[in-house]
Amino acid sequence: MAAIPADPPRRVVICGGGVVGACTAYFLSTHAAAPTVPTLFEKCAPACAASGKAGGFLALHWCEFTPPLLALARASFALHRRLAATLDGATAYGFRPLHTLSICAPETGPGSPHPLLPSWVDPAASAAPPRELSTPDTTAQVHPGLFTKAVLAASGADVVIGEVERVVVRDGRVAGVAVKGRDGSVVEADAVVLALGPWTSRLEVTRDLGVSALKGHSIVLRPREPEKITPHALFFSYQPEPGAKMLSPEVYPRPTGEVYISGINKDEDAPDDPATSTIELDAIAMLHKIAGKVSSHLKTEEGAEVVVEQVCYRPWTTDRLPIIGELPGVKGCYVATGHGRWGILNAPATGAALAELNLNGKAKTVDLAPFSPGRFLNR
């Protein structure tokens, strides 16, 4: 077992109120040997960006061709189950196992009814027999916004609405953060965790990490008969018309009776403020078209209610691996971003490993070496 530092950090500041920041706060505050309640700064509101607008899909083994990511996903999937048991996840944030199917939508003409096809999905939505991707043993879901807020509340963190402008470094060690509107005063800290999603690279200390943004649209509908919607996550292959780009929409029913639909993405810089993100009407229209093709229950002209039409920006890295670890050259400054589409899934293991690294000097939940920020800075 790694030796615990003689003077573990007690003043921890987390920058970012998304799912990664929330999970880091939780595992810091529940650390067995040195529980530490952090201060968390968030510019907008907890879960105001991708963490509140993602699908919340969880998979145990879908990263099998990327071993480091698979290890992170397996550890995190187990932690999701543990957190659900501890925090009453089924009630608090819609945690539940579910079946997962792959469906190829036909270009034209009738589809193919099949016993695997859920009763609420129109037979015409499937051009061939659906394929079972996973069972409830290996896939599950949460409502991402409710999950983020529940974990953050359970951490007891001091949540402050404010924009961190700069990480203060003295003699190669983090000293705190400067927050906009505080007349240059510094919030002192022994450790700082930067979990700002695609905004992480906008700070001076992390500008060389090259975290980019993927803009993704989604809609949430309430079907006219929500009790008929069964727990089946659906992954579609859909070509809107001959010669058009193939789309990969995803459909996630939630225990509340709502249905989340996404799959229109593109590379685009994130705005300075998540609250100013703007939707593109053609992308939203395409998602409604897809929803109607999936099921008559999801057609607004037949009674489905539009709960929300939204957009968010997910953080990506050039090698498609997240960045998790201490920033080389700045002792006590930790980075956690770049999780792409797997941010909700991998946040618990990321938070647990960062808490261990911070308080024990070494992460044991998962090997963080493949995710080190140094792989970009050493270039």
Domain parsing of the chain, residue ranges: 12-87+143-209+318-378, 99-135+213-316
Q: Specify the 3-state DSSP secondary structure of 1.
A: coil
Q: What pLDDT is recorded for position 275?
A: 86
Q: Is 146 left (phi over 0), alpha (psi -120 to 50) or beta?
A: alpha
**Token pair belonging to 276:** 């100013």
Quick: pLDDT tens for 264-289: 999 999 999 888 999 999 999 999 99
DSSP annotation of 156: T
Q: What pLDDT, on a 0 to 100 scale, did the predictor assign at position 108? A: 60
Rounded CA separation 322/317 (Å) = 7
Distances 66 to 71, 74, 85, 279, 345 between C-alpha atoms, Å = 9, 12, 29, 32, 15
CATH number of 99-135+213-316: 3.30.9.10
In whole angstroms, what is the distance from residue 15 CA to residue 20 CA? Answer: 10
Q: What is the dihedral of CA 254, 263, 368, 137, to 10 degrees?
A: 40
Give the model's pLDDT for residue 210. Answer: 84
CA–CA dist 148, 370 (Å, integer): 26
Q: Give residue 147's pLDDT.
A: 98
Phi, psi of 79 (to 5 degrees): -65, -35
pTM of the model: 0.94
CATH of 12-87+143-209+318-378, one of 3.40.50.700, 2.40.50.140, 3.50.50.60, 3.30.420.40: 3.50.50.60
- Inter-residue contact 155 to 37 (CB < 8 Å): yes
pLDDT in tens, the chain (379 residues): 444 444 656 899 999 999 999 999 999 999 999 999 999 999 999 999 999 999 999 999 999 889 999 999 999 999 999 999 999 999 999 999 999 999 988 766 566 667 889 999 998 888 788 999 999 999 999 999 999 999 999 999 999 999 999 999 999 999 999 999 888 789 999 999 999 999 999 999 999 998 999 999 999 999 999 999 999 999 999 888 888 888 999 999 999 999 999 999 999 999 998 889 999 999 999 999 999 999 999 999 999 999 999 999 999 999 999 999 999 999 999 999 999 999 999 999 999 999 999 999 999 999 999 999 999 986 4
3-state secondary structure of 158: strand
Rounded Cα distance between 150 and 354, Å, is 19
Same fold, 12-87+143-209+318-378 and 99-135+213-316: no
Instruction: Starting at the earlier edge strand, list the strands of the sheet with 191-194.
Output: 158-161, 39-42, 12-15, 191-194, 333-337, 323-326
Helix axes 343-360, 19-29, angle to 10 degrees: 40
> Considering just the CA atoms, what is the radius of gyration of the chain in Å?
21
3-class SS of residue 374: helix
